[in-house]
Structure 1
Amino acid sequence: MTPAPDAGPDAAGAWDDLLRAEFARAAHDVTPGPAPVAAVVRAGRARRRRRTVALSVLAVLGVSAAVAAGTALVRDPHPAAGLAAPPVVSSASATDPASAPTGASAPTVPSVPPASRHVDEVPAPVRTVAAGERVRAAPGWMVWLTARGKHWQGGEDGLEQFRSVVDGNIDRTRPALSHQGEGTFHSGLYYGTDDAGRVELVDAEGRTTVATLLQLPGRPGWGVWYAVAPDADAVGPRLYDRAGRLLFDLPPF
């Protein structure tokens, strides 16, 4: 059915017309069937279901990732979280066993002992020194204690001096103190109590100087006090106990 090579343009056109006529005849002989509407609908619904399932899976995966991230943050806090202040426990829950949860024991809170329980403790102003231990009390002055009494040395002549607590010249059965004044340097004995808290010097103008207290180990019931006053005026030392009560007042000389 291929036209001859030397047929020319007219022959080629005639050949095309013949082909169209043959195709038209063949088309008329074919009876078209009904459109597959149901199949198309089913295919569309299936594609829609697959798309919905895929979106649901992605949503579930996203939520799971968010939950996992939150759990990781809770289990592994920021390093600075350890620097946060501890939770505050109310005084009621810390001290009242009735406020503790059922089945849980109440927290143990150390009780604060009353002031009377501190009687046997040496207060901070009282310094315990070894026998013979020399203490620099002031520029040019040294003080030390032995079992026999108070020793001190200084002043212009630098002589060593001694005040006995065992020669019977002091009554150690009741609180009292002695006083030796040499210029602005003042010192003495305090005795008759194991509850000495402080010694104060009060001069004629009402100025107060707090002394330093020394004692030997074992609290023998006596000790030494010393202080440097503002000037060399006569002063009257006062002995107080740890509760601040006046035990003895030596009038100024």
Structure 2
Amino acid sequence: MNHPSRSPRPPAEAERLRAVFTEAAYDVTPSAVPLAAIEREGRRRRVRRRTAVLGAACGMLLVPLTVLVLREGVSAPVSGPSDRVRPPASSAGTSSPSPAAGKVRVVAPGERVEVAPDTEIWLTEDGKHWTEPGAPGPQFRSVIDGNLDLSKPGVSLQESGQAGSYFLSGIFNGKGEPARVEVSTLAGAVNGTALTLAGKPGWGVWYATVKVPASLTSDAGMPGVTRRVTVYDSAGGVIARQEFRS
């Protein structure tokens, strides 16, 4: 069955439709472009990207610092006040090194000080105790038995030695805080060292070591090598002085 073919629209109708569409298009008013909103959004995105970049960079810097802190914590831990190492307190029966010559050291009662090889001195409230090579046991010199006159300044002396090396020591008493001890010997003047108890006991112990050539000593018995002992205070005043040999 054959359908009749449609004939094309006449040009006048097409022109009329074009005119209608054109008029309708002119009546449509486009909305304004939101430039301010677009600009704000652009700034927001730029700030967000910049913040993200900076955060990543800071993170990269913080990682090595964190590792460094951890390594420091492992290799050198920080101790609190309760973890600090404290030196053991001196007590009777223990020995501590001798202070350098010319010094004054405050010791605890019974604190033993090694003052020479195999020689120790310790102080108690009643006097001077010491040990020395060849002695059968500890030696003692009292400050309360009346053998020392503590009512006036004075210095006592004990000497021992062999092969030209002599150990000199004794008790001194007087008013003032000792600061220096000077010992005059056959071989010249040497600096002595003082030991004293805390507080103001009014007495202390001095000692010194000196080498004396054999030509200056006699062959008969134990020679006296000490000429004079002087104990000074910090101002240079004399606390006690004693002559032992003219």
- TM-score w.r.t. the length of structure 2 is 0.51
Distance 1:234 1:189 in 2: 14
Quote the residue 2:202 is aligned against. 221
Distance 1:55 1:230 in 2: 94
In 1, are the aligned partners of 2:187 and 2:211 still within 8 Å (CA)?
no
How many residue pairs get aligned? The number is: 186
Quote the residue 2:172 is aligned against. 190
Match runs of 1:204-243 below 5 Å: 208-215=190-197, 219-231=200-212, 233-234=225-226, 236-243=228-235
Q: Rate the CA distance shift 1:228–1:39 in 2: closer, same or farther, 3 A.
A: farther
Match of 1:211, SS state, is strand
Quote the residue 2:105 is aligned against. 125
In 1, are the aligned partners of 2:109 and 2:124 still within 8 Å (CA)?
no
Answer with 1 or 2: which has the greater Rg: 1
C-alpha displacement of 1:145: 4.4
Match of 2:11, SS state, is helix
One-letter identity of the residue aligned with 2:202: G
User: Which of 13, 20, 23 is 1:26 aligned to?
Assistant: 13
Distance 1:197 1:223 in 2: 12
Match of 1:129, SS state, is coil
Distance 2:12 2:182 in 1: 139
Distance 2:131 2:125 in 1: 17
Match of 2:204, SS state, is strand
Q: Calculate percent identity across the aligned residue pairs.
A: 28
Higher relative contact order (CA 8 A, sep 6+): 2
Larger helix proportion, structure 1 or 2?
1
Distance 1:235 1:173 in 2: 23
Match runs of 1:123-202 below 5 Å: 125-130=105-110, 136-145=114-123, 148-156=126-134, 158=136, 161-166=139-144, 168-183=146-161, 184-193=166-175, 195-202=177-184
One-letter identity of the residue aligned with 1:225: W
Unaligned runs of 5+ in 1: 5-14, 84-122
Unaligned runs of 5+ in 2: 60-64, 73-102, 214-224
Distance 1:39 1:161 in 2: 126
